Chain A
C-alpha cells in the first residue's frame, strides 16, 4: 500500500484545496500520471500517482482543504 501525500507546493504555504480527481476509487492507475489536482491562489497542481496499481481509497473530496503531508489517497 502506497500513501499519496500532499507535498509542499509553495514556500510558506501549508495547505491547498482539492480541485479535481482524475480517477475514481477502484481505477487502475499508472505511476507518474496525473492523479489529483490541487489549487492554491492562481495555480493548480497535478500530483502524479506515486506508484502503479489500484486506487484503493480516496480520503478527501473535491473542495476540501488539505494540509501538506496529509494522506489524500491510498494506492495498492
Chain B
C-alpha cells in the first residue's frame, strides 16, 4: 500500500566515515533527484574526517589558527553554501543531512530549524541528557555548553546540509574556532554530558527514532543500507 503521509522519510543512507566533500556530492545528487520527484524524503547519516567548514554568514576571523597551522595538521577549511558561520566536523560526531521537500511541510525554513532542534532534544533525552534551546540562537545546549550545531540550505524547498551532534569527538578542535561565530562558547559531547561511553551505532539508532517522532519514517518502505552511492 502506498504511504500518503507527506512527512515521512523513506530512505536512510548511512555513509559511515566519509570525507566532507564526497558526502556533499551525495547530498547534491539526492537534492536533484528529490526535486525531480525521483526519490522520497531521505536522511543521510555520516561521520566526517576532520574538517572546518564556514557557512555563508561566516567570517574568516572566527578561525583562530593560521592557515600554516591548519596545513601543518592537515586539516582543510571549506567555504560551504549553508547558513551559519564556522564549525568543525570530525570522527565521533554524528552528522545528519535530511533531504526533505518542505513544500509538503509548510514551507517554513525557521520551523524546520526548530524541528531539527526538537529531533536533537528527543535524541539526547534517550540518554537522559537534557538539551535546551537558547533564545535567538539556533542549536542545542546542555547546561550552557553547546552540543548540537545546525546549519541548513534549501533548493526550491528541498533541504540539504543539516545538523551535527557531538557524540564522543575530540572537542579540542573547537578551540581553534569561534564555533558558529560565537566567542567564549564552550562545547560538550554526549559522552561528557551523559557521563558514559556511547557507541556511534547506538547513537545512529536513537537519532532515527527521534527523527521518526518529529518527521515521520514510514516503516513499510523504510530502507536502511550501509553503502556509498555508486
Contacts and interface: CB of A to CB of B under 8 A. Distances in A.
Interface of A: 8-13, 17, 19-20, 32, 34, 37, 39-48
B158 to A, nearest CB: 9
Contact of A44 (B82, B111, B150, B156): B82
B90 interface: no
Interface of A: prevailing SS: strand
Interface stretch (B63-71, B102-110, B164-172, B221-229): B102-110
Contact of A40 (B106, B107, B110): B110
17 contacts: A8-B107, A9-B109, A10-B110, A20-B56, A39-B56, A40-B110, A41-B113, A42-B113, A42-B151, A43-B113, A43-B151, A43-B153, A44-B82, A44-B83, A44-B152, A45-B154, A46-B153
B138 A20 contact: no
A30 B155 CA distance: 15
Interface in B110-149: 110-113, 138
Interface of B: 35, 55-57, 81-84, 106-113, 138, 150-156
A32 B155 CA distance: 10
B97 to A, nearest CB: 14
Contacts of B106: 11
B155 A41 contact: no
Contact of B112 (A34, A43, A46): A43
A47 B110 CA distance: 16
Nearest to A49: B156
Given A37-B56, A37-B81, A10 B111 contact: yes
Contacts of B110: 10-13, 40-41, 43
Contacts of B35: 32
A42 B83 contact: yes
A42 B111 contact: no
B83 A39 contact: yes
Contacts of B138: 41-42
Contacts of B112: 43
A6 B6 CA distance: 25
Contacts of B155: 34, 46, 48
